[in-house]
Amino acid sequence: MFDVRPLSGSFGAEVIGFTIGENNTAEQVEAVKALWAKHKILLFREQSMDEKVLVDFSRQFGELEIHVRTEYLSPHHPEVLYISNIKDGDRKIGILADTEVGWHYDQIYLPRPAVGSLLCADILPPTGGNTEFADMAAAYQSLPEGTRERLKGCRAIQSYEAFNRAYSVPTNDAQKKRSPDIEHPLVRRHPITGKDALYLCPGMTTEIVGWNATESSEMLEELFEWCVKPEFVYSHQWQAGDAILWDNACTMHRRDPFDQNYQRLMKRTTILPAAHLAVPV
Ligand code: OGA
Ligand code: MN
C-alpha cells in the first residue's frame, strides 16, 4: 500500500507518502501495523505535531500509557510526554533535557511494558541529539548457540532507579512506588511476531536472577557489547516533522547529547500491549 525505503542494513524503514491523521483509513492503519512488525522502526517525514492528531493516531495501535512522570506530560493531552530541555520560567517542561541518554527499552521496569512509542520531533538543535536504535532480535539470533543455550529461561532485574541515577532525575515517592525494580525474561518472545529478542539494556538491566554477581555482570557486559555492534544499530539524525514509531518489544534506543544553548522538543505517545499480551514471556 505504501512505498518504503530501508533506513539501514538490518532494520527500519521510511514510509513514503503517509500522513498521520489525514483521514487514515482502517486499511492504511493495518498496513502501517504490518510494516511496523516487519521493520521494527518506521520513520514518517514531514508530519504534523498537532497533539490531538498524534494521540488519535497512536490510539489505533493500542491503549496509551499516561506516563508515571506526570510533571512532564503535555498540559493539553496527558497521553503526550514531553522530552525536552525547554524551561517555562523555572519549570522544566520535559524529561531527559540535553545530556546523553543511555541505551534502554522504554518501560522495561513496568509489569506491563509498552510495546511501542511514537516519538515526534517538534523543535531541534542544529546538531547533536541523534537517537540510535538497536535491533535486539537480530542481536539475539546471531549470538553463538552456546550463549543462547545459557540464556534459556533466564530472568533479569530491570531498574528505573538505576537509569534515573545515570541519565535522568529522581522519581518522587509516589512514582517510586509505581516503578520498583522488577524481573522479566532475559529473552522476550515478541507478542505479535513470536520472534525472540534480547530483552535487556545497559541503562536498566542490573543483574541476572539467581546467578552469582561476577557471572551475572560478566554475561551482561558481554551482551551489552554484543547488541550495540554497528550491524545492529541505526542512528537517526532528526529533521523537524519526523515521527518514528518503534517496536519496543525488540528494539532499544539511546540518545546523543546536544548543546544546551539550543532547544529541543520531542513529543511522545506510549503504546501499551493488549491485556492478554501484557506480560513479557
Ligand atoms: C524516548 C527517548 C530519546 C530522544 O522518547 O523514549 O528515549 O531522542 N527519547 O529524545
Ligand atoms: Mn526512551
- 139-168 tens-digit pLDDT: 999 999 999 999 999 999 999 999 999 999
Vertex 11: Cα angle to 133 and 29 (nearest 5):
95
Of 76, 17, 59, 69, the residue nearest 42 (C-alpha): 17
Mean pLDDT over the full length of the chain: 96
pLDDT at residue 73, as a whole number: 98
Residue 215 has a CB neighbour count (10 Å cut-off) of: 11
CA distance 226 to 147: 11
* Average pLDDT rounded to a whole number, residues 65-86: 97
User: What is the per-residue pLDDT across 199-239, written as a single tens digit (0 to 9) for each?
Assistant: 999 999 999 999 999 999 999 999 999 999 999 999 999 99
Neighbours of ion ligand 2 (CB under 5 A): 106
Give how far the C-alpha of residue 78 lies from the chain's centroid of Cα atoms, to the nearest Å: 18
CA distance 203 to 210: 20
Q: Which residues surround ligand 1 with Cβ inside 6 Å?
A: 83, 96, 101, 106, 117, 119, 131, 253, 255, 266, 268
Percent of the chain with pLDDT over 70: 100
Residue located via cell numbers 542544529: 126
Q: Where are the domains of the chain?
A: 3-271
* Average pLDDT rounded to a whole number, residues 119-142: 98
Record the pTM: 0.97
User: What is the per-residue pLDDT across 28-41, written as a single tens digit (0 to 9) for each?
Assistant: 999 999 999 999 99
Among 69, 80, 101, which is best to mutate for testing ligand 1, by the most ligand atoms less than 8 A from CB?
A: 101
pLDDT at 72 exceeding the cut of 90: yes
Chosen CATH of 3-271 out of 3.40.50.300, 3.30.365.10, 3.90.930.60, 3.60.130.10 = 3.60.130.10
* Average pLDDT rounded to a whole number, residues 74-95: 97
Asked whether the beta carbons of 11 and 135 are under 8 A apart, the reply is yes
